[in-house]
């Protein structure tokens, strides 16, 4: 694997941390932003700053046009059948809360109904359903995770009953990097006439996403995990569901008419976009999609696969390293533990070397329990990572062993 030209597009990577070159290996938490995205944000605030959908003056018209062109770009990016099915949210978390809350307001759930989740869900796809469970009496059923970090699809099939009302599952695990077979998961649910929501936060920046091919009913993702700004995300939903669901929030821009006696709501997507939206961030999301669209998927996939294979191969040469999950179908998210040191100690030592990795439970505490670890060290990659990052990481991990002792002599 050779060093890549993409790295130069990300200004933040030119800096040093504690006197060491920045080695950023936490893209699963948030990706760094290319200059093209930074320029788009600056251009909006410098030349277009105005509210959308409301003004008849030039700036508002131009801002509205840019905002809606961005929606069209997102629709094309995920192959949505209709641009009106693209709802802008604050991120994946709000998108999932929107679906869960609106389904509950629809009286879609009765006490005793069941929701199927998986054992590798992020807390953002667990807690919203638990909140709804407290209100409605629904029961959460969980797809087991196998030792290799894949889902037990036989057990998943067996979870369905006459009470199953919804499936909500992650596309790609933020801990294991596992790419779940969404098409198969959806097909099984469809056989039982059950809708499926997919948490695509970790997928959209790493693999092509076609919501029509996946067959799901809802798909949620965040811009900041795909080289775009924070504070903006997307919920895609089938038109028939979006028309059926009641609004998630009330306020300006999502109404057709308001009186003190009655309010009628706007059509989708406006029905779910109350208040002034994150206009600049939406434009930044478009810039991120445009930036990555210039790179063929086969090139991006090959780069990430090579980086991931190289990291895993080098990690396996370090005494006491244990990988967590080894699914054949995966992205560049690699979790591991070291027998000689707690993950938090490892993270602190790496930080002194200018290396940013994530340590902890990664908002996936049930999965940590499954693998009997309190936390893991997680290395996750982006377009900008290459051999230079691995060359910094591996010696730093070896330094952990020097400080804490080799695994066989460690008794703490």
Q: Provide the residue ranges of all domains of the chain, joining segments of one domain with +.
A: 5-25+296-409, 37-293
Phi, psi of 350 (to 5 degrees): -65, -35
Q: What is the pLDDT along the chain (412 residues), one digit of tens a residue?
A: 555 789 999 999 999 999 999 999 999 999 999 999 999 999 999 999 999 998 899 999 999 999 999 999 999 999 999 999 999 999 999 999 999 999 999 999 999 999 999 999 999 999 999 999 999 999 999 999 999 999 999 999 999 999 999 999 999 999 999 999 999 999 999 999 999 999 999 999 999 999 999 999 999 999 999 999 999 999 999 999 999 999 999 888 887 888 898 888 889 899 999 999 999 999 999 999 999 999 999 999 999 999 999 999 999 999 999 999 999 999 999 999 999 899 999 999 999 999 999 999 999 999 999 999 999 999 999 999 999 999 999 999 999 988 887 665 443 3
The residue length of the chain stands at: 412
User: Could you tell me which residues come within 8 angstroms of residue 99 by beta carbon, excluding any fewer than 6 positions away?
Assistant: 168, 197, 218, 220, 235, 237, 245
What is d(CA 173, CA 130) in angstroms, rounded to the nearest whole number?
Answer: 20
Which residues are paired to 334 by β-bridges?
379
Secondary structure of residue 167 in the 3-state scheme: strand
Tokens of 204: 């959209």
CA distances from 155 to 117, 141, 158, 160, 185 (A): 12, 11, 5, 9, 12
The CATH architecture one would assign to domain 37-293 is 3-Layer(aba) Sandwich (3.40)
What is d(CA 221, CA 132) in angstroms, rounded to the nearest whole number?
Answer: 21
pTM score > 0.75 for this model?
yes
Helices 92-105, 127-136: axis angle to 10 degrees equals 10
Burial pattern 169-192, b for ≥16 Cβ within 10 A else e, equals: bbbbbbbbbbbbebeebbebbeee
Q: How many CA atoms lie within 13 A of 171 on its CB side?
A: 25
Cis preceding linkage at 269, omega within 30 = yes
What is d(CA 231, CA 227) in angstroms, rounded to the nearest whole number?
Answer: 12
Beta-carbon neighbour count of residue 374 at 10 Å? Answer: 13
Beta-carbon neighbour count of residue 152 at 10 Å? Answer: 15
pLDDT attached to residue 407: 63
Question: Which class is domain 5-25+296-409?
Answer: alpha beta
Which residues are paired to 338 by β-bridges?
321, 341
Q: How many CA atoms lie within 13 A of 388 on its CB side?
A: 13
pLDDT attached to residue 3: 53
Q: Is 166 a catalytic residue?
A: no
């Amino acid at each position: 694997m050779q060093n890549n030209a993409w790295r130069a597009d990300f200004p933040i990577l030119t800096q040093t941390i504690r006197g060491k070159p920045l080695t950023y290996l936490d893209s699963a938490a948030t990706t760094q932003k290319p200059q093209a995205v930074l320029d788009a944000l600056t251009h909006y605030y410098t030349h277009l700053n105005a509210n959308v959908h409301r003004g008849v003056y030039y700036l508002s018209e131009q801002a509205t046009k840019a905002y809606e062109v961005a929606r069209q770009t997102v629709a094309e990016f995920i192959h949505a059948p209709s641009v009106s099915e693209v709802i802008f949210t604050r991120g994946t978390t709000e998108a999932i809360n929107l679906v869960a809350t609106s389904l509950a307001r629809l009286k879609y759930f009765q006490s005793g109904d069941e929701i199927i989740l998986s054992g590798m869900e992020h807390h953002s796809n667990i807690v919203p359903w638990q909140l709804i469970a407290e209100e409605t009496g629904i029961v959460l059923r969980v797809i087991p995770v196998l030792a290799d970090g894949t889902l037990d699809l036989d057990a998943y099939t067996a979870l369905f009953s006459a009470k199953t009302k919804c499936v909500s599952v992650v596309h790609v695990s933020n801990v294991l990097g596992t790419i779940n077979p969404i098409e198969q998961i959806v097909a099984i649910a469809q056989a039982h006439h059950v809708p499926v929501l997919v948490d695509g936060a970790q997928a959209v920046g790493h693999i092509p996403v076609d919501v029509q091919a996946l067959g799901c009913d809802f798909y949620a993702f965040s811009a900041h995990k795909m080289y775009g700004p924070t504070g903006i995300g997307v919920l895609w939903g089938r038109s028939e569901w979006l028309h059926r669901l009641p609004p998630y929030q009330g306020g300006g821009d999502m109404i057709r008419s308001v009186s003190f006696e009655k309010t009628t709501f706007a059509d989708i997507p406006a029905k779910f976009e109350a208040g002034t939206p994150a206009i600049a961030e939406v434009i930044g999301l478009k810039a991120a999609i445009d930036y990555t669209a210039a790179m063929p998927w086969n090139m991006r996939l090959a780069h990430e696969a090579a980086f991931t294979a190289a990291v895993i191969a080098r990690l396996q040469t370090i005494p006491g390293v244990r990988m967590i999950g080894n699914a054949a179908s995966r992205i560049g998210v690699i979790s591991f533990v070291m027998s000689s040191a707690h993950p938090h100690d490892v993270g602190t030592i790496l930080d002194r070397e200018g290396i940013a990795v994530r340590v902890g439970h990664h908002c996936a505490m049930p999965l940590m329990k499954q693998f009997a670890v309190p936390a893991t060290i997680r290395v996750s990659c982006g377009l900008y990572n290459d051999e230079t990052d691995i060359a910094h990481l591996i010696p730093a991990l070896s330094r952990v062993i020097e400080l804490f002792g080799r695994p066989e002599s460690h008794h703490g």
